[in-house]
């Protein structure tokens, strides 16, 4: 998790207290967090055997929502896992932002 926190603080200029909230959803999903850590290290989505949740990979989500940064994409993967109906509704609505 430190790699993700450092990325957010040092490269995305987020404050530590904001980072704590951003990474909180990732704490209970080792597989999602691990794939995000791999992205931070390599700066690319995995080509072989990417994590797939409800039929979507992180790379697919990033293409559907190009405005979303990589941490947002992986946090959305958490939403897909924990609340798939809600996540699919958000996608169907085109990821409308308030």
Residue 98's pLDDT band, with cuts at 50, 70 and 90, is low
54: in domain: yes
Query: What does the pLDDT read at residue 35?
Result: 97
How far, in whole angstroms, is CA 16 from its chain's centroid?
18
Flag whether 98 is in a domain. no
Find the mean pLDDT for residues 3-9.
95
Q: Is residue 18 part of a domain?
A: yes
pLDDT score of 96 more than 90: no
Number of independent structural domains in the chain: 1
**Tens-digit pLDDT profile for residues 24-83:** 999 999 999 999 999 999 999 998 999 999 999 999 999 999 999 999 999 999 999 999
Assigned domain for 97 exists: no
Q: Structure pTM?
A: 0.92
Q: Which two tokens stand for residue 33?
A: 């967090």
Domain that holds residue 65: 2-92
Q: What is the pLDDT of residue 54?
A: 96
First to last CA, the chain: 29
Q: Which residues contact 32 (CB under 8 A, 6 or more apart)?
A: 26, 51, 53, 74, 77, 78, 81
């Amino acid at each position: 998790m430190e790699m993700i926190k450092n990325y957010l603080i040092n490269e995305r200029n987020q404050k530590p207290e904001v980072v704590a909230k951003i990474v909180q959803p990732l704490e209970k999903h080792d597989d999602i967090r691990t794939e995000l850590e791999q992205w931070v290290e390599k700066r690319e989505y995995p080509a072989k055997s990417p994590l797939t949740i409800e039929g979507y990979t992180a790379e697919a989500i990033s293409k559907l929502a190009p405005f979303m940064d990589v941490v947002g994409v992986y946090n959305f993967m958490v939403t897909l896992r924990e609340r798939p109906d809600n996540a699919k509704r958000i996608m169907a609505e085109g990821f409308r932002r308030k």
